[in-house]
Amino acid sequence: MRILVVGGGGREHALTWKIAQSPLVDAIWCAPGNAGMAALAECVDIGAEDIESLARFAAEKKIDLTVVGPEAPLVAGIADLFQEKGLPVFGPVRKAAQMEGSKDFAKRLMLEAGVPTGKAEAFTDYDAAEACIRNNSAPYVVKADGLAAGKGVVIAQDDRAAYEALKTCFVKRSFGAAGDKVLIEEFLEGQEVSIICFVDGEDILPMEPAQDYKRVGDGDTGPNTGGMGSYSPVPVLSREDYQRAVEEILRPTARALAGRGIHYKGILYAGIILTAGGPKVLEYNVRFGDPETQAVLPRLRSDIVEAMLAVVEGRLAQANLEWHDDPCVTVVVASGGYPGDYARGYPVTGLEEAGSMDGVTVFHAGTSLDEKGEVVTSGGRVLGVSALGKDFAAARERAYEAAARIAFTDIYYRKDIALRTLEV
> What CATH number does the domain containing 232 carry?
3.30.470.20
Q: Which of 298, 318, 338 is the last residue of a domain?
A: 318
What's the pLDDT at 135?
87
Q: Residue 290 above 70 pLDDT?
A: yes
Do 51 and 21 have their domain in common? yes
Q: What digits encode the pLDDT tens for the residues 180-202? A: 999 999 899 999 999 999 999 99
Is position 364 within any domain? Answer: yes
Do 134 and 248 have their domain in common? no
Average pLDDT (32-60) is: 98
Do 179 and 199 have their domain in common? no
What's the pLDDT at 152?
83
What's the pLDDT at 155?
87
Is position 405 within any domain? Answer: yes
Do 352 and 404 have their domain in common? yes
Is position 97 within any domain? Answer: no
Query: φ, ψ for residue 142 (rounded to 5)?
Result: -110, 125
Q: Are 400 and 331 in contact (CB under 8 A)?
A: yes
Closest CA to 55 of 4, 1, 118, 113: 4
Kind of pairing between the strands at 65-68 and 2-7: parallel
Q: Residue 294 above 70 pLDDT?
A: yes
Do 289 and 195 have their domain in common? yes
Q: Residue 9 above 70 pLDDT?
A: yes
What's the pLDDT at 66?
98
Residue 240: is it exposed, middle or buried by C-beta count within 10 angstroms (0-12/13-18/19+)? Answer: exposed
Average pLDDT (351-380) is: 97
Is position 107 within any domain? Answer: no
> What CATH number does the domain containing 379 carry?
3.90.600.10
Task: State the SS3 of the chain.
Answer: CEEEEEECCHHHHHHHHHHCCCCCCCEEEEEECCCCHHHCCEECCCCCCCHHHHHHHHHHCCCCEEEECCHHHHHHCHHHHHHHCCCCEECCCHHHHHHHHCHHHHHHHHHHHCCCECCEEEECCHHHHHHHHHCCCCCEEEEECCCCCCCCEEEECCHHHHHHHHHHHHCCCCCHHHHCCEEEEECCCCEEEEEEEEEECCEEEECCCEEECCEEECCCEEEECCCCEEEECCCCCCHHHHHHHHHHHHHHHHHHHHHCCCCCEEEEEEEEEEECCEEEEEEEECCCCCCHHHHHHHHECCCHHHHHHHHHCCCHHHCCCCECCCCEEEEEEEECCCCCCCCCCCECECHHHHHCCCCEEEEECCEEECCCCCEEECCCEEEEEEEECCCHHHHHHHHHHHHHCCECCCEECCCCCCHHHHCC
Which band of pLDDT confidence, cut at 50, 70 and 90, is reported for residue 150? low
Given phi > 0 = left and psi -120 to 50 = alpha, else beta, which region is 187? beta
Closest CA to 64 of 77, 45, 82: 82
Is position 229 within any domain? Answer: yes
Do 263 and 203 have their domain in common? yes
Q: Residue 73 above 80 pLDDT?
A: yes
Do 215 and 282 have their domain in common? yes
Q: Are 34 and 8 in contact (CB under 8 A)?
A: yes
> What CATH number does the domain containing 31 carry?
3.40.50.20
Do 243 and 173 have their domain in common? no
Is position 103 within any domain? Answer: no
Do 307 and 398 have their domain in common? no
Q: How far apart are CA 111 and CA 115, in angstroms?
A: 6
Q: Which of 299, 318, 337 is the last residue of a domain?
A: 318
Average pLDDT (45-71) is: 98
Q: Residue 392 above 70 pLDDT?
A: yes
Structural domain boundaries enclosing 74: 2-91
Q: Which of 49, 74, 91 is the last residue of a domain?
A: 91
Do 166 and 236 have their domain in common? no
Q: What digits encode the pLDDT tens for the residues 367-380? A: 999 999 999 999 99
What's the pLDDT at 198?
98
Do 298 and 374 have their domain in common? no
Do 84 and 6 have their domain in common? yes
∠ CA(53), CA(41), CA(296), 5° rounding?
100
Number of domains in the chain: 4
Is position 378 within any domain? Answer: yes
